[in-house]
A and B are shown apart, each in its own frame.
Chain A
Amino acid sequence: MSVSQAASDVFEQEFLPIRAKLLEVAAALDRVDRAEGNAQTDRRRTQVQAAVQVLLRPDDDRAEQIQLIFSRPYEKGWRENLGVNDEFIE
């Protein structure tokens, strides 16, 4: 449903925002690594690294993939696990 635009035009519009946002991420990671101590074992660091890897893939659903990296998993048996009654269900 996009208005027809050439990829080169979209990239022209998005290049500077992409550059700025990548710099923000890079600067934030530098900030973490300059700080005292070590955050390498923080599981969120692993999530960040996985998200960066997604950016390198030639897919068109990278945003969705990154959202799922930062999400708790869904389990079909949640109702039984939590003990939720469904007395209202008809």
Chain B
Amino acid sequence: MYYIDPHIHMVSRTTDDYETLAKMGCVAVSEPAFWAGYDRGSVEGFRDYFEQLTAFEPKRADWYGIQHYTWLCINAKEAENVSLAREVIAMIPEFLNRPGVLGIGEIGLNKNTRNEATVFLEHVDLAVRTDEQILIHTPHLEDKYQGTRMILDMLCEDGRVNRDRVLVDHVEEHTVRHVLEEGFWAGMTLYPVSKCTPARAADIVEMYGPDRLLVNSAGDWGPSKPTAVPDFILEMRRRGHADSFIRRVVYDNPLTFFNQSRNFEFTPPDVAEPAGV
């Protein structure tokens, strides 16, 4: 089954992973800007990173026939440095018209601090002023519920935010209902330990239906599986769901969401679906 991974950090993955993804039926990836594994020292570090995301990664993906899209921001971990964050936010517009740039992301909270919230609000303001979509990171583990509720408060209190154009990612059982009830898109990240699993993601799709739900691998520096979306596909098939139903989550929904970005140009595969997964 052809699928799209709407959240995967390919800068942290080897080229072999692109080959594996292509063999598994991945036709497109969407890569938000994230933490480098250390705190970058200057706005020039971010400029170089954005160059990598918008110029080199699409080329590397194309070696394997995968279409690559990206999002730009200073991530929540580095948002504690408000002055650096403001320099980065001021620099982001230099890249917003590059091909494949879908919007601002992955912004959000990490430890739910005042500085993180301040920088989050300034990113949202930038996104609204430049008419960009927004991709949001919700915190890990014990911080997720509190941080997600805080994020939703900030988004819902801003009447300029178009909720159809916002994806709140890394939802789990205790946050997905809040995100969907407020009218946002919700992404489920399939990590081996610290986030959702394919089986639990399948449960969530069964409980809430496929509307406005996405799944992703968020392939990252830490333990993560870039082929997690095919794992989800298999779990859904194991439960007897039709391919047309599964495809809504792993292919149609990402296209529907991304089609709202002015820089989203996608060439669908023009051949019959491979035997693949």
Interface residues of A (CB under 8 A from B): 1-3, 5, 61, 63-64, 67-68, 70-75, 78-79, 82-86, 88-90
Contact = CB atoms under 8 A, between A and B. Distances in A.
Contacts of B121: 84-86, 88
Contacts of B158: 88-90
A16 to B, nearest CB: 13
Contact of A64 (B146, B173, B206): B173
Q: Interface of chain A, helix or strand or loop or mixed?
A: loop
Nearest to B236: A3
Contacts of A74: 145-146, 149-150
Nearest to B157: A89
24 contacts: A1-B207, A63-B200, A64-B173, A64-B174, A67-B172, A70-B141, A71-B144, A71-B146, A72-B112, A72-B143, A73-B145, A74-B146, A78-B146, A79-B153, A82-B113, A84-B114, A84-B118, A84-B121, A86-B121, A86-B154, A86-B157, A88-B122, A89-B159, A90-B159
Contacts of A85: 118, 121
A35 to B, nearest CB: 21
B141 to A, nearest CB: 7
A24 to B, nearest CB: 12
Contacts of B112: 72, 78
B142 A72 contact: yes
Given A1-B206, A74-B145, 5 more contacts: A3-B241, A68-B145, A68-B174, A73-B145, A78-B150
Q: Interface of chain B, helix or strand or loop or mixed?
A: helix
Interface string B201-227: 001011111100000000000000000
Interface residues of B, number: 37
Contact of B117 (A1, A82, A89, A90): A82
Given A5-B240, A79-B153, A73 B146 contact: yes
B125 interface: yes
B160 interface: yes
Contacts of B240: 3, 5
Interface in B115-160: 117-118, 121-122, 124-125, 141-146, 149-150, 153-154, 157-160
Interface string B80-93: 00000000000000
A85 B121 CA distance: 9
B209 A1 contact: yes
Nearest to B175: A67
Contacts of A70: 141-142
Contact of A2 (B154, B160, B172, B206): B206
